[in-house]
Amino acid sequence: MHLRQAAVVKGLTVAEREALAAVVGGLGVVGPWWRIKPVHDVFVLLAGQRAVERLTSHGVSRTAALREAAAELGVAYTTLRDAVNGLVLQKGSP
């Protein structure tokens, strides 16, 4: 679990890491934030989206990028795929 948390944190920007720290601190989380679903889902999605963008910019197909990003972050491919696709749909919605 700590390795997965570290992988996610590594994939975040400085501002996103600060936001994660603020959320975790504001909630008074003492243990791993990985187990708190709302926190987990948001920050895994941010890190996953960044990883997919990085990989596709280097010519990797989107599907392969999603698979690689999921493996890097320690989440299921389908979980990351569904989250990233949901974000893309929301960005396209007015």
Number of domains in the chain: 1
CA distances 45 to 28, 30, Å, are 22, 22
Chain center to CA of 8: 6
Higher pLDDT, 10 or 92: 10
Give the domain range for residue 16.
2-92
Give the whole-angstrom CA distance, residue 55 versus residue 43.
Answer: 18
- Condensed to tens digits (0 to 9), the pLDDT of residues 10-54 reads 999 999 999 999 999 999 998 888 889 999 899 999 999 999 999
Which pTM was predicted? 0.83
The pLDDT of residue 93: 55
- Condensed to tens digits (0 to 9), the pLDDT of residues 42-85 reads 999 999 999 999 999 999 999 999 999 999 999 999 999 999 99
Banded model confidence at residue 2, pLDDT cuts 50, 70, 90: confident
CA distances 36 to 17, 19, 28, 59, Å, are 16, 15, 12, 34
